[in-house]
């Protein structure tokens, strides 16, 4: 169930994560941890799942993440000659789609804080590995000059960032004027019966599947909890607007299990 209607974000100020900014804590799943520790903990999770990351996304989304990523690419409509940065894109799933759509004629940069994820991306396709720039970097402090890119994408990465408003501000900084921001992330289900089914799948099945498939129940437990902690669609849209990006819209995917947010650097 794809929802291709554009939901226009209400113009309201973003107040940020006030509690966390005050007490210097961040959410790590349902836990509260010192903000300085979160990035390391998240890195440990993805070190543990990097070799099976694409399979992990199949488990988390029942395989539908592939359709959602195709929807993101369709909405982006990448063109030859464009410069694109895919943040938290280690395994190259978005990069490979842009590469195929542009027939290898786009300047694609994959930036991920986790070297193991980048290694997994380089291994997936020799031609892609040679044609894409793979950079270790933090979404909160991107190692690129201002106004470097025509498009910024991030898929299933923003919820793992310690300081989301800062990462969004970095997205705006590295985009050229007129550049496009697109974010695919698990979100809040807006169909009650589907929400109940998805909650059962999330909390009862996913961690057990994580143990069977990935031999790491704790990593999958964190990923499930991080989905539940992520802001709802309108709240996240307000955060994007608060970072200075304009024309914020989103499209729900599969009844709101995920959402694609779009914005522009005006």
Strand locations in the chain (E): 7-8, 25-28, 31-34, 83-87, 107-112, 133-136, 149-155, 175-186, 246-253, 258-264
Tens digits of per-residue pLDDT, 169-226? 999 999 999 999 999 999 988 777 776 776 666 666 776 666 676 666 777 788 888 8
Please state whether the predicted TM-score (pTM) of the whole model is above 0.75.
Answer: yes
Tens digits of per-residue pLDDT, 62-89? 789 999 999 999 999 999 999 999 999 9
Domain limits for position 53: 7-264
150 three-class SS: strand
Residue 2 is assigned to a structural domain of this protein: no
108: number of Cβ within 10 Å: 27
CATH number at residue 160: 3.40.50.150
pLDDT exceeds 60 at position 34: yes
Tens digits of per-residue pLDDT, 133-154? 999 999 999 999 999 999 999 9
Residue 1 is assigned to a structural domain of this protein: no
Residue 141, beta-bridge partner list = 138
Residue 186, beta-bridge partner list = 258
Cα 108 from Cα 86, distance rounded (Å)? 8
The total number of structural domains that make up the chain = 1
């Amino acid at each position: 169930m794809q929802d291709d209607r554009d939901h226009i974000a209400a113009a309201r100020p973003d107040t940020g994560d006030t509690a966390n900014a005050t007490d210097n804590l961040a959410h790590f799943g349902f836990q509260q941890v010192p903000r300085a520790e979160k990035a390391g903990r998240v890195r440990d999770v993805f070190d543990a799942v990097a070799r099976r990351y694409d399979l992990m996304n199949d488990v988390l989304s029942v395989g539908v993440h592939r359709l959602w990523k195709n929807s993101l690419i369709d909405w982006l409509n990448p063109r030859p000659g464009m410069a694109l940065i895919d943040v938290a894109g280690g395994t190259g799933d978005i990069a490979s789609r842009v590469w195929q759509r542009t027939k290898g004629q786009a300047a694609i940069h994959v930036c991920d804080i986790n070297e193991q994820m980048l290694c997994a991306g380089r291994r997936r396709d020799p031609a892609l590995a040679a044609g894409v720039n793979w950079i270790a970097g933090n979404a909160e402090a991107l190692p690129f000059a201002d106004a470097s890119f025509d498009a910024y994408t991030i898929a299933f990465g923003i919820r793992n960032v310690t300081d989301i408003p800062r990462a969004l501000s970095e997205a705006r900084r590295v985009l050229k004027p007129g550049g496009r921001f697109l974010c695919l992330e698990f979100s809040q289900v807006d169909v009650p019966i589907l929400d109940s089914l998805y909650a059962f799948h999330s909390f009862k099945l996913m961690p057990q599947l994580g143990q069977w498939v990935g031999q790491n129940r704790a990593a999958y437990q964190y990923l499930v909890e991080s989905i539940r902690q992520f802001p709802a669609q309108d709240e996240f849209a307000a955060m994007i607007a608060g970072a200075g990006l304009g024309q914020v819209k989103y499209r729900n995917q599969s009844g709101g299990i995920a959402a694609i947010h779009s914005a522009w650097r005006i």
